[in-house]
Chains A and B, each alone.
Chain A
Amino acid sequence: MGPDEYLFLLAGLKWTVALSAIGFFFGGIAGLLVALARTSELRVVERITAGYIGVFQGTPLLMQLFVVYYGLALIGLKLDAWVAVSIGLTLHASAYLGEIWRGAIEAVPKGQTEAAKALSLNYTSRMRDVVLPQAFRISLPATIGFLVQLIKGTSLAAIVGFTELTRAGNMISNQIFQPLLVFGIVGALYFIMCCPLTLYGAHLERKFAKSAR
């Protein structure tokens, strides 16, 4: 492997990071809306979002990416691979984060909402000032865990022809016929991104468990 190959891998890595960031950012915004809808106490809204979450949790991410990439092309909406993959990852992340944050919102003691209501705080303030800050803290380990899944999940973008880290590795491996070396390096790069996050998540979990005692 020469410097050109390494640079090519790093360019792929850059796209992996970008896809993860896009999916996590927009998925986070959409996920917050999903979580709020799931806890809205409006039965119809709760049912619809439960169905939404069910669909995305019950089907493989790869299939979701196929549907967005090829499916939208079939109805005449031809998207760039990176746009299609970003949309797919955003939808996927919104469902998972929505479900994680729903659980966290429901884990905030009911007395908190009652006290906020008794102080005549409206829904927006109850959520923004009282419930969500506490829910965010509760959800942090699981949220980080999902981010790790999402980073690894971006490798599926390779299959729709998007050159992120995994596909970059595949292309180089086909050129220099050293798959073990190339994919070893690719794996190490994923590991370097994910392992610190996993450790940080575990650290937070221990910290919260201690302070809850």
Chain B
Amino acid sequence: MTQASMTTSAAQAMIAMERVEKWYGAFQALHDINLSVRAGEKIVLCGPSGSGKSTLIRCINHLEAYQKGEIRVGGTVLGHESKTIDAVRREVGMVFQQFNLFPHLTILENCTLAPIRSLGLSKAEAQGRARKLLERVKIAEQAEKYPAQLSGGQQQRVAIARALCMQPKVMLFDEPTSALDPEMVKEVLDTMITLAEEGMTMICVTHEMGFARQVADRVIFMASGAIVEEAPPAEFFTNPRHERTRKFLGEILGRH
């Protein structure tokens, strides 16, 4: 990428959602979502289950189709035809709650598949890139193993490395620690914190409020498919404005 195009894309919003609405049949899953994320910004999305947070981030890379409004990613308008969908997906990495590593491929193959197939890298280039990133998530020595031979925390770190191998501009995290045993949550959060410190644009759906406090530029609270409240973490946690936010925070912080 050239310096010039970097400056322009940094100046405008990395992700812009305008008046986005989504339905599942008669059920409206997202109501009038307006969200703008600058390059390098870290957003934490939280809210009760069924509030639409996962649906929201899944619309950004078109794992879910939206019916109204507009989504732009790095200047590309996300339409419903495969050309713009593919373009957006090349820029947006995603990490899932259930890791979703490919069980029949080794860790290294998991990381090289998309760069080879989608970006057209040579096998050697892709492997070089993958090994570097696996080292960064501290898992390089497991490269020849299969996913089932790794712990949950290790698998999730591989999933992060796999997404980073596409050199995305944005990373989406969909409850990345919810399926992990408690002792493995920290290693995944540490990886995410490192990534945040390196300046990655991130949207994280998570209930890890410690992570939100430490990393987030903004915390967004959703309920019933709508954005209820958004604020910097200091303000969000000490002085929530809405009753529903207070109730949610009471429940979630009371647990810890």
Contacts and interface: CB of A to CB of B under 8 A. Distances in A.
Give the bracket for the number of chain B residues in contact with chain A: 20 to 34
Contact of B114 (A109, A112, A119, A137): A119
A137 B104 contact: yes
Interface of B is mostly: mixed
Contacts of B93: 118
Interface stretch (A77-85, A128-136, A173-181): A128-136
Contact of A118 (B89, B102, B103, B117): B89
A125 B102 CA distance: 13
Given A118-B89, A118-B93, A134-B103, A111 B98 contact: yes
A41 B86 CA distance: 19
A208 to B, nearest CB: 12
Contacts of A121: 113-114, 117-118
A114 B86 contact: no
Q: Which of B63, B98, B102 has the most CB of A within 10 A?
A: B102
B126 to A, nearest CB: 12
Interface of A is mostly: helix
A117 B82 CA distance: 11
B215 interface: no
A170 to B, nearest CB: 47
Interface string B31-73: 0000000000000000000000000000001010000000000
A8 to B, nearest CB: 46
A120 interface: yes
Contacts of B89: 117-120
Nearest to B86: A120
Interface string B97-140: 01011111000000001100110000000000000000000000
A118 B102 CA distance: 13
A134 B86 CA distance: 24
A87 B159 CA distance: 46
A199 interface: no
Q: Which of A115, A118, A125 has the most CB of B within 10 A?
A: A118
Contact of B100 (A115, A125, A129, A133): A115
Nearest to A211: B148
A118 B58 CA distance: 9
A137 B82 CA distance: 30
A120 B90 contact: yes
B94 A118 contact: yes
B96 interface: yes
B100 A112 contact: yes
A115 B156 CA distance: 13
Contact of A119 (B82, B98, B103, B166): B166
B163 A119 contact: yes
Contact of A111 (B82, B86, B100, B163): B100
Contacts of A111: 96, 98, 100
A134 B163 contact: no
Nearest to B87: A120
B157 interface: no
Given A133-B104, A134-B103, 4 more contacts: A111-B100, A117-B63, A119-B166, A120-B89
